[in-house]
Amino acid sequence: MRLHSAVEFPPGAEGTQLVRTGDIGPDTGWSAALPGCDAVVHLAARVHFMRGSGAGSQRAFFRTNVEGTETLAHAAARAGVRRFVFLSSVKVNGETTRGRAFTEGDPPAPADAYGASKAEAEERLKKIAGETGMEVVILRPPLVYGPGVGANFLRLLGAVDAGLPLPLAAIDNRRSLVYVGNLVSAIESGLTHAGAANHTYLVSDDHDVSTPELIRGLAAALGRNPRLVPVPLALLRIAGKLTGRTEQVGRITESLQVDVSRIKAELGWRPPFTMPQGLAETAAWYRTLRANYRS
């Protein structure tokens, strides 16, 4: 097995070969990485740079997530790769749901440069599949959590662990998430199931929660008491505008659900881990991280 990346990885399993390719973009060379490969799982992307909204930021997303993906896919097809699994994002569908969950048949409605770049990458992969015969499988996860999680989820872990009062008790939303172990399982199905070829699938834990429910789940996993304070949603939104955090408030107050009926029906996939199990593993990792930081 080969691992191809622009970053440092710890030593892998026996037989794993690490091939460093440099930054991923339209000029990345893949000649040393692809010979002998039967399948490619493309996970790398430009992410978590949401503040930039100008042409330069959009170009950076496009260069890595669209042109970089396209270059890799063309190289994979020339190398005889049978199947190409692409980790896209629910952001292709949009940012919020109202009344029903997103499905694979919904028209794309990305709201930022990241989502737009993933949507365009999907279209280019479908074109390459049609031209070359290489099978393409597209997976669109929502927020992925588990050991190693960062950004807002990590900050929420810290707040719950610290016993900080959170003004989120009155929120009545529904959010889909996916534990990294469940995502790996879905990728496995995308790699091995004959019926997955040239299909797109939404994937989640198949257990949607409100923001207060998620906080209670994190608190239980951490062995803490959740400190949830009821604050009217209107006040939270006003606070978000005044502090320049409208997007962050939106993410924790609005709904974003995905319907995983298709991957379950067509691939027979079921998430092998429950959300409480995923949160427990995440909490265990976080406690180790915190202990190492303090030592």
Contact (Cβ atoms closer than 8 angstroms) between residue 122 and residue 42: no
The sheet with strand 39-42 has its strands ordered as 39-42, 83-87, 135-140, 200-202
Active site residues: 114
Other CB atoms closer than 10 Å to residue 26's CB: what's the count? 13
Amino acid at residue number 7: V
246 vs 149: CA distance, rounded Å: 22
CA angle 220-223-228, nearest 5°?
Answer: 60
Contact (Cβ atoms closer than 8 angstroms) between residue 278 and residue 218: no
208 vs 185: CA distance, rounded Å: 18
DSSP string, 175-231: B-EEEHHHHHHHHHHHHH-GGGTT-EEE---S--B-HHHHHHHHHHHHT----B---
274 vs 67: CA distance, rounded Å: 36
- Is residue 33 exposed (0-12), middle (13-18) or buried (19+ Cβ within 10 Å)? buried
Q: What are phi and psi of 250, to 5 degrees?
A: -60, -40
